[in-house]
A and B are shown apart, each in its own frame.
Chain A
């Protein structure tokens, strides 16, 4: 320390109101910890939500209109109009959109074997291949092809195996066997009828429907369907980056659309986490403001307490800048220490949390995010500005 600083330190006694200073420092520590915790929690939660997603972070949602007692009798009301589809397409959260094409002809499925006899009326739907989660070379159809590849929902397979089959005394089937079963498909309409052989090429989790290649459905709708009344789409598939986006949920609710709740359930958690994080951050910010206020008062008190000395120093030729520099040196370093300690504590917590979450198969970064470090810098800048402003103001008054 320079001789000037030593002499100034002896002259301007820093001891006054030390209790207040310590309290303000504790307040600042808590405020910084809360702010950092809020920032870090928000970063971690985001990482947990989107960190390990497949599909390049995209999700597919099938949405449809909610059926209510009022609209259940109006078939048209349950279909998406081109304007509605256009509106959905315009939303920021929608990356791609595909109406689910439905069959407008009658479909019957029947087992050709007596070992596993069944008969059922059925329906077909189709979407563009990009919207499917299956990988198979068999997913194609061209006119004249007798064989129709079909995608069944996994849920249907489970229902059959664990509910239907035991109750009817039918054998439970492995996925391989299920997919090897030939199914006789009869489509009918426009006073025509044609047989095909269908077989299941994949089980899907994405779209709860019986899907066939789009080419087949288009051909069959043209030849067997009720072309007079093109029904439009009752369901559409949208590709979204973030199914938990609260904006998406509120858009769906506002338009009375419904979708797979499972996929958007994080939206609710996210809203809760966001609220909690914002509340914690808000409290942190308030505490920071109070701490800054106390610091400002403390400096004012110190200068006021040493008023005579400060005035005399200035009278003797000490420049206000020299005094400002000295006072900032006196008050500011403690804040750097406090902020670094807080950051270190948050780092320790983050590290412990990452170890704990790993045991639960959840991965978060063991290091604090750069946002937290930026937050620390912002706090330090705010503290410096308040200290500088207060010191400058009160020294100038004395000068």
Chain B
């Protein structure tokens, strides 16, 4: 199980000097993100959005302070536990999308669907793809897709697994308004279905979701 995520005086080592100069609701303070919250983190470029996402997802550990998944310190978790958490409790949409280039769009989605407990069957996946208007590119190899298409594949991929938290790093950066609306609606639906919370980082204000909390980085 995973309900809350807490940060205790976390500050990334490379950005330390820069970040201590200005106030932040996340860096160098204690913050608890309770289960089911829909959280927007707004910040300008270079203020460490991606660093935060990677820190929360345990992709980097060059920071001072501590990150806790409930009562477990993230730094102490063994690799197999991390894998299990990524399969069952935390899903992610990377800013740089990170699709496997050798696989087709559909295979990229299927891989995530079957890594842990299988969540959806193929027709469910196809329905989601249809809603994001990417049915026609599902059989294409991921490295031949446009950024907009890749981003929508990455969103569907993040939604085909169980999760308690969905972390999204500028998830609509390559999408037009219409596609953003479609994607946001699907994300909201899937999070509601799971009673899951999300953490979304972006540059500007938006009203894609009824956020329960807005934090400044």
**Interface residues, chain A, CB within 8 Å of chain B?**
2-4, 7, 10-11, 13, 309, 312-322, 396, 399
Contacts and interface: CB of A to CB of B under 8 A. Distances in A.
Interface of B: 57, 59, 79-80, 82-84, 86-87, 98, 100, 102-103, 107, 110-112, 114-116, 161
Quick one: which of A3, A318, A319 has the most chain B CB within 10 A?
A: A319
A13 B102 contact: yes
A319 B79 CA distance: 8
Contact of B111 (A4, A319, A321): A4
A315 B102 CA distance: 16
Contacts of B86: 315-317
Contact of B107 (A10, A309, A321): A10
Contacts of A315: 57, 59, 86, 98
B83 A3 contact: no
Given A3-B110, A7-B111, A312 B102 contact: no
B102 A10 contact: yes
22 contacts: A4-B111, A4-B114, A4-B115, A7-B111, A10-B102, A10-B103, A10-B107, A11-B102, A11-B103, A13-B102, A309-B100, A312-B100, A313-B100, A314-B83, A317-B83, A317-B86, A317-B112, A319-B79, A320-B83, A321-B80, A321-B83, A322-B115
A3 B110 CA distance: 8
B118 to A, nearest CB: 9
B100 A317 contact: no
Given A315-B98, A316-B115, A318-B115, A7 B107 contact: yes
A319 B87 contact: yes
Quick one: which of B57, B111, B114 has the most chain A CB within 10 A?
A: B111
A344 B79 CA distance: 43
Contacts of A11: 100, 102-103, 111
Nearest to A321: B80
A353 B98 CA distance: 61
Contacts of A3: 110, 114
A322 B83 CA distance: 10
Quick one: which of B57, B83, B110, B161 has the most chain A CB within 10 A?
A: B83
Nearest to A309: B100
